[in-house]
Amino acid sequence: MRGNVAWVTIAEPKEIVVIVVKRTGMGTRHGPPGGRRLTLAGQVLLLQLAVVAGVLIVVAVISFRQSTDAFTDERGSAMRSVAEYLAGGEVVRTAVDDAAATRTLAPFVERAVALSGATDVLVTDPDGVVIAAAEPSRVGTTVDLGESRVREGRGWSGDVVRDGRRYVTAHAPVIADDGTLVGIAVAEQSYPSWWDRVADSSSDLALYLGLGALLGGLGTWAVAHLLKRRTRGLGGEEIATLADHRYALLHSIREGVVAVDNAGTVTVMNDAARRLLDVTGDPVGRPISTVGLDPELTALIAGDAEARDAVVLTGDRVLVVNRRAASSRGLGIGSVTTMRDRTDVVEVEQQLSSNLSISDALRAQTHEFANRLHTISGLVELGEYDELASLLGTLTRERAVLDASLRESVRDPAVAALLAAKASQAAEAGLRLTIDEASRLSTLDPDLAADLTTVLGNLVDNALDACRGGAGSEVVVRVGEVDGTIEVVVSDDGPGVPDEIAGSIFSRGYSTKPEVLGGRGIGLPLVRLIATRRGGSATLDDGGPGATFRVRLPRAGDAP
């Protein structure tokens, strides 16, 4: 760490990745110098506590409203009963028109207040002028009947507001014996204050709010604790920064990265992997088997075994693949597969191998010529001139036959030189390399000639290796042109290719040779790769003793 920049170095056996990160709160649990930044768990805790508090407030408001509605229903019914009882009294119906009605009705009004607990009970004339009231100061005042239809002889109850206070009120008509409206009985009770209503329901409300707060607090703490463990105590901005840096890292490195979970579903595939595997669209969230990869590569990525520097041929590329299981806190969460493109390296290696093969052939020729010179020298010293003449004739004929065969059938200098060198190499190993009489090949352009020598070199080397140890074994090579396509056929009379591996020799670097490139051989996969890139094919013919490989390369194919 230096200043406000952090260097994070990730070292691999063959690659070092350095990430330079500007430190803007990332990588630390502390915020700016002025204070401590809350972790994501702390933020969630506060948010959930605020939600719980909001829920409790809503519950309290609902409870308060329910208490108010209960008061309205209960006391409204009581006020209707009081008004109807008062309006139905014989004394009230007969005395309401008297001049002394105020004094006559006062005891009845007071008794109604005492029995019902009403705030006030009134008796008015049909116009609403108060005749008698529990509160004497209201006598002579006019009652606002509002929406009441009591003048029509119907009882009514509801809320009214007077002098800034709210009352639940009931009206009942006072009907004389002749059926006329002679007055109105009014009973009303004021609503208690909000504090009184809260106090009335405080016991139940406190219980419900307490239980809600307890359960909400415990649940919030549990969620925050779990979230803190899962997020390693990081804050929201820090997690977002980590996600951004992870995305930038994965998609900026040249090495392909593919991650799958335990069910084989793709969780990560960076840009390099999509380019190497020719994957279109977004594969994340899809099973690896549905992405459209080569079956062998799919099995390698989704398999259980680890792979180290495995050579895989996919499409027109040779990839070196490493696969490791991924775990978190001791639990397996899937696997991560990395891959590097080694197509160019492999082709250069194969060209180098071809040059080394030619060098080996020249060494074999030198060794062969030295042995023959020693034989000729010995025959001269012994005076065996007839035997010497016979040996020279035999050597001359063998070489002349091979040279003539190559000159007549193979006109391309590079291919002819390779076959001549391979013939000497076969002779040194006690084998015989024969050029089929049907071979015909004209001069090729340099790129095609280089590919053809790589194909021939690998096929002939495989055939010679298969025949080693078999006295008198023969390898037959036929190179011809049919309708603009070069066909190479290499046959041997060795043990052949077992049926159980016949389908694998062109894939995943299968080889019976010693290990190369940190894994299995890549000769036959490279042969098929070259053929595929040029629009041709490479196959193993069925039947017959030994093995027969057939490769077709269009002369006008897509050159690499």
* pLDDT score of 558: 43
* pLDDT score of 248: 67
Q: What is the pLDDT of residues 78-98, one digit of tens each?
A: 888 888 888 888 888 888 878
Q: Which of 82-91, 205-214, 536-545 has the lowest mean pLDDT?
A: 205-214
- Residue 21: pLDDT over 50: no
Mean pLDDT confidence for 150-178: 86
* pLDDT score of 517: 38
Please indicate whether residue 484 or residue 354 has the higher confidence score (pLDDT): 484
Q: What is the DSSP letter of 257?
A: E
Distance between CA atoms of residues 234 and 220, nearest Å? 18
DSSP string, 413-460: HHHHHHHHHHHHHHHHTT-EEEE-TT--B----HHHHHHHHHHHHHHH
134, 123 contact by CB (below 8 A) = no
CATH superfamily of the 253-341 domain: PAS domain (3.30.450.20)
Q: What is the pLDDT of residues 419-462, one digit of tens each?
A: 888 887 887 788 888 888 888 888 898 888 888 888 898 899 88
394-554 shares the fold of 253-341: no
Within a 10 A sphere around the Cβ of 470, how many other Cβ atoms?
15
Stretch (H or E) spanning 404? helix 385-409
* pLDDT score of 32: 42
* pLDDT score of 404: 60
Distance between CA atoms of residues 71 and 74, nearest Å? 5
Longest dimension (CA), the chain: 180
Within a 10 A sphere around the Cβ of 108, how many other Cβ atoms?
18
Distance between CA atoms of residues 453 and 145, nearest Å? 115
- Residue 167: pLDDT over 70: yes
Distance between CA atoms of residues 173 and 410, nearest Å? 130
CATH class of 394-554: alpha beta
Q: Which residues of 508-518 are buried (b: 16+ CB within 10 A; e: fewer)?
A: bbbbeeeebbe
456, 354 contact by CB (below 8 A) = no
131, 123 contact by CB (below 8 A) = yes
174, 181 contact by CB (below 8 A) = yes
The domain 59-199 is placed in CATH, from the list 3.30.450.20, 3.10.105.10, 3.40.50.10300, 3.40.50.1110, at 3.30.450.20
For the chain, give every domain's residue range. 59-199, 253-341, 394-554
pTM value is 0.46
